[in-house]
Amino acid sequence: MTRCTLPALLAFSFLALASAPAAAQAIVRSFPDAALRGTLEVTTPPAVLLDGQAARLAPGARIRSTGNLFVVPASLAGQTLAVNYLRDAASGDLQEVWILTAEEAAVRRAGAGSSFSLRGLLFGSQ
């Protein structure tokens, strides 16, 4: 039926263009309240520098990119990145790391100067 082609084409075009703004919206990530802010530099995995201090990635540590995809630590070697992170309660190693976008990094969060607890002992500066 050739007479329905124009209305169908217009309807399809409208629906395709109407859905474009929804696809352009950024993913809003939520971070745990316990997550801290820092700068991470992967030197030789699992060795990293967290705010200039030597640290280690825990076995099975998960690093998420700005798109919330998992990243292999070796692919980040030599880069300095703004991150949110969680430490493993038993060992103090980095367990979860989220690489931040510029907008996420602009939001204030407790960071490197904060203390952390390792097996009941409190570490950090006052």
Q: pLDDT for 24-44, tens place per residue?
A: 566 789 999 999 999 999 999
- Check whether 112 has a pLDDT greater than 60: no
Q: Are 84 and 77 in contact (CB under 8 A)?
A: no
- 43 vs 76: CA distance, rounded Å: 9
Q: What is the pTM of this model?
A: 0.69
Q: Which helix (H) or strand (E) holds 11?
A: helix 5-18
Residue with tokens 């060795």: 47
CA contacts within 13 A on the Cβ side of 29? 20
pLDDT single digits (tens) 42-64: 999 999 999 999 999 999 999 99
Distance of CA 84 to the CA centre of its chain: 7
Structural domains of the chain ordered from first start? 36-106 (2.40.50)
